[in-house]
Each structure stands twice: as C-alpha cells, then as structure tokens.
Amino acid sequence: MAGTAGTAVFPFRHGRRRPTVREFFPVRRTTKTKRGWSAFADHDGLRKTVSALLAAALLAALPAAAAWGADGGRGKALYGQCKRCHQVGGGAKHRIGPHLNDLFGRAAGSLGGYRYSRAMKAAGSGGLVWTPETLDAFLAEPRAVVARSRMSFKGMKGAEDRAALLAWLRGFSGARADLPPAEPTVTAEEYGLDPKLLALRGDPEYGAYLAGECTTCHRPGGGEVGIPSITGWPPEEFVIALHAYKRGKRVHPAMQMVAGRLSDDEIAALAAHFHRAEDGP
C-alpha cells in the first residue's frame, strides 16, 4: 500500500502515519451524500478478507494480560463514559447497547441476541471488523465510520484516552476464566425509585399513540448527534430514565417537563412501545 510521496505505509508499524479508510479500501462510494462504511459498495470480498487478516494479526500481537497493565486504571475510568449503555465482564448482557466482551476481531453488527440498527448491520455486511484501528476511528467520531448509527456518543477526542480505553477493553477479548463481573448500567435504587415501577407492564399500542412527542427529537433510526435514539431500549432502562427525569434526579429541562406530565402507566406504555419499535428509514 502506498502512502504520500511514494512512501510505503503499513498500518500498525510504529512511527508511521495512520492510513485513511480509503487507503485501506480504495473503493468508490455509492452516493455522494452518504458517509461511513455503509456507503461503500465495491470489493466486499476483498474488504472482508483484509479486515479478517488484520484482526487476526492484532489479536495475536496484543495478549490480553497486557491490556490490564499499568494504564488499566485510566482505561477503566474512561469506560465510565460507556457504562450507561454497555456492559463488559463476567455475565455481561445486552442493554441499551450490546455487551463488549470479545469485541476485538468481531464483525460490526454481528453479535447474537442484540437488535442492531440497519446502518450497523450494513456496515458489518460491507466488511467492517472491530480492530484497534477501526475502533479508534469509531470512538473518535462514531458517525464518520457508521453513518446513522443509533449510538449518540459524540466521540472521544483524545488519542491517548482512546488508546487507554481500548487497551483496557482488550482484556475482555479472548478466552479468560477470571473476568471481573459486569457492572449494571443503571438501577432503580441508584435514583431512589420504587422497584415496583419496573414491574408495571405497559400497553405497547397505547405507547405508540403517545410516542409522537418523543420522536420529534428522538428519531427512530438515530441521526441526530447528541440526541439518543430510544428504539430498542430495554423497558426497565427506559422506565428508570423517565422516572429519574420526572423526579428531578436527572437534569434536563425539556425531559423533566415531558416526563412530569406522564403517569406511571404511560411511562410503562412508552417503554413497551419503544422496546419493540423498528428503525426508521
């Protein structure tokens, strides 16, 4: 692969410039308006082969034990920006986002049991594999890598921060018998809520009737930076979030106003609706 001014570039050699996505996969875009991996169409087989080879090489070169080294504390602290949506560790489950165990070397949008956005599944089908390079780019600017991703995270701008976080997460990929237990993303007790609120079973049809005010801002397929899509949320997380706003435990004037007008049954109905709702176009 050739770099600028004829300089040979290998993507993971120290002291060399990091290659661009186009240098990895020199293909044309399907339309000028689309961004990210989902917009690439040519050479699918080549991209998948190259991505798989890169992933295998990286997994062999980065032993899991080294990932929890001297900088592990920094990586774990930075993971605090992820833990509201993701679990990682022993017994980790899908929450608002998929769990992050065995993330390295996995094709995007391929983890069983999680309902990914159409954009993320298209990216994986197009050859996107999670390697240190692609994860670094995704953490820096998620929607530059996967356009219309439902992930509302604005990005982690510091390269050293991203490296520390990825090094820590790397320790959860590969066969390990001593994984620390996964921490919960959120609990009712955290906000002083009655756990009985989580036992209410909402009517999804009634939730669909109420949902118009929500989808004014929370687009079903994502697409608004900083405003999360609430499609597919686990009902208990949805209920906790709305009641936290309603009781002033989470601070956001617009959300506090909306939640304050909703009854417990209406919140349960909205949670049931958005849990089963489909992505928008």
pLDDT per residue over 178-200, tens digit each?
889 999 998 999 899 999 999 99
Q: What is the pLDDT of residue 223?
A: 57
CATH pick for 17-170 out of 3.40.50.620, 2.60.40.740, 1.10.760.10, 1.10.3210.10: 1.10.760.10
Which parts of 25-171 fold into alpha helices (H)?
Answer: 44-61, 64-67, 72-78, 118-125, 132-140, 142-145, 159-170
Among 102, 50, 29, CA closest to 110: 102
Q: Which range is least confidently modeled, 24-28, 84-88, 129-133, 268-272?
A: 24-28
For residue 220, the Cα-to-chain-centroid distance in whole angstroms is 16
Q: What is the pLDDT of residue 176?
A: 74
Q: What is the pLDDT of residue 26?
A: 43
Q: Work out the percent of the chain whose per-residue pLDDT is above 90.
A: 56
Q: Which of 31-35, 203-207, 228-232 has the highest mean pLDDT?
A: 203-207
Report domain extents, the chain.
17-170, 189-276
Q: Which range is least confidently modeled, 83-97, 106-120, 144-158?
A: 144-158
Q: Which residues pair with 8 in a beta bridge?
A: 2
62 or 128, higher pLDDT: 128
Q: What is the pLDDT of residue 216?
A: 86
For 189-276, give the CATH class.
Answer: mainly alpha
Q: What is the pLDDT of residue 235?
A: 94
17-170 with 189-276: one CATH topology? yes
Question: Which residue type sits at 265?
Answer: D
The mean per-residue pLDDT over the stretch 259-281 comes to 89
What's the rounded Cα separation, in Å, for the pair 145 and 21?
Answer: 9
Q: What is the pLDDT of residue 227?
A: 81
pLDDT in tens, 120-159: 999 999 999 999 999 999 999 998 999 888 888 889 999 9
- And the tokens for 109? 């949008």
